[in-house]
Amino acid sequence: ILNVEQSPQSLHVQEGDSTNFTCSFPSSNFYALHWYRWETAKSPEALFVMTLNGDEKKKGRISATLNTKEGYSYLYIKGSQPEDSATYLCAFLYNQGGKLIFGQGTELSVKP
Amino acid sequence: SQTIHQWPATLVQPVGSPLSLECTVEGTSNPNLYWYRQAAGRGLQLLFYSVGIGQISSEVPQNLSASRPQDRQFILSSKKLLLSDSGFYLCAWSVLGLNTEAFFGQGTRLTVV
């Protein structure tokens, strides 16, 4: 059984706060780690696809790091804005090919 | 460009009735195809995935089945729906590769009454 765990489950911050979430995943059979953003009434959209241990990726105010040896990834949002409010999902792509397992997500609410 | 179509968007079905949800992908060949469900909570539970025609991997024993009759068509079915089958179902596709993400359909909200 592959377990992908995310914490915290929910987060409420004020506009301008910086925040971070954690995704833990199996440290064996790793192929890739994905981060998605899921807004209400929309489909999940990919933020990052990370493959190499030590990877750091950035898109605007959002960045992510990856540690495949210990099985975790962090997602950071700098200076949160109300439009960042969404559920953030990480997903583990298993190296046997094809199996993409999601965590339960972190629901972020940013108050103006 | 690639697109994914999933229908219907909403569905209300009585307990014991059959189910068929369809997902088709355009603009790519031999995609990996996925069915997910969001029931309680916010995460996505993987139900089935397929890496090729006729190849279906089932992740969770349940009242559902999946088929892939064509390369870019993925169907989720049930012979007799249960109340617990209610939820939000998402179809997705990807191409296996190191830097490729999954792309999702618009989802189907299924309510079993």
How many angstroms away from the CA of A61 is the closest CA of chain B? 20
Dihedral, CA of residue B33, residue B38, residue B43 and residue B45, to nearest 10: -50
pLDDT for A22 equals 98
Burial of B4 (0-12, 13-18, 19+ CB in 10 A): buried
What is the pLDDT averaged over residues A59-67?
97
User: Which amino acid, A94?
Assistant: Y
Residues of chain B with confidence (pLDDT) below 70: 40-42, 61, 97-98
Tell me if B43 and A34 make a contact (CB, 8 A cut-off).
Answer: no
Contact (CB, 8 A) for A67 and A73: yes
Amino acid B14: pLDDT: 98
> Residue B62: its pLDDT value, please?
79
* Structure confidence at residue A98 (pLDDT): 85
pLDDT for A94 equals 87
Is the alpha carbon torsion for B49, B51, B56, B59 positive or negative?
negative
Mean pLDDT of A49-65: 96
A23 touches chain B (CB under 8 A): no
Distance, in Å, from the CA atom of A18 to the CA atom of B25, rounded to the nearest integer, reads 38
pLDDT of res. A41: 86
**A34–B104: do the CB atoms touch at under 8 Å?**
no
Cα distance between the two ends of chain B: 38
What would the pLDDT profile of A4-31 be if each residue is shown by its tens digit?
999 999 999 999 999 999 999 998 888 8
Q: What is the pLDDT of residue A28?
A: 87
Check pLDDT > 70 for residue A38: yes
Burial of A112 (0-12, 13-18, 19+ CB in 10 A): exposed
Phi, psi of A84 (to 5 degrees): -80, -10
CB distance B47 to B62 below 8 Å:
yes
For residues B100 and A68, the model is more confident at A68
Query: Which residues from chain A sit within 8 angstroms of residue B41, using beta carbons?
Result: 104-105
B96: which chain A residues are within 8 Å (Cβ-Cβ)?
Answer: 97-98
Distance (Å) from the alpha carbon of A79 to chain B's nearest alpha carbon:
24
Q: C-alpha dihedral over A20, A24, A28, A31, to 10 degrees?
A: -50
pLDDT in tens, A71-111: 999 999 999 999 999 999 999 998 766 899 999 999 999 99
Would you state the pLDDT for residue B43? 83
Chain A: nearest CA to B45, how far in angstroms? 7
Pick the residue of A47, A101, A109 with the most B CBs within 10 A to test the interface with B by mutation.
A101
Q: What is the mean pLDDT of residues A43-56?
A: 95
Strands A56-59 and A45-50: unpaired
Mean of pLDDT over chain B = 91
Give CA–CA dist B13/B45, Å, rounded.
Answer: 21
Q: Do A44 and B34 touch (CB under 8 A)?
A: no
Measured between CB atoms, does B109 come within 8 Å of chain A? no
Flag whether residue A103 sits within 8 Å of chain B, measured between CB atoms. yes
CB atoms B107 and A104 under 8 Å = no
Subunit contact B34:A100, Cβ cutoff 8 A: yes
Whole-number pLDDT of residue B23: 97
Question: What pairs with residue A98 in β-bridges?
Answer: none
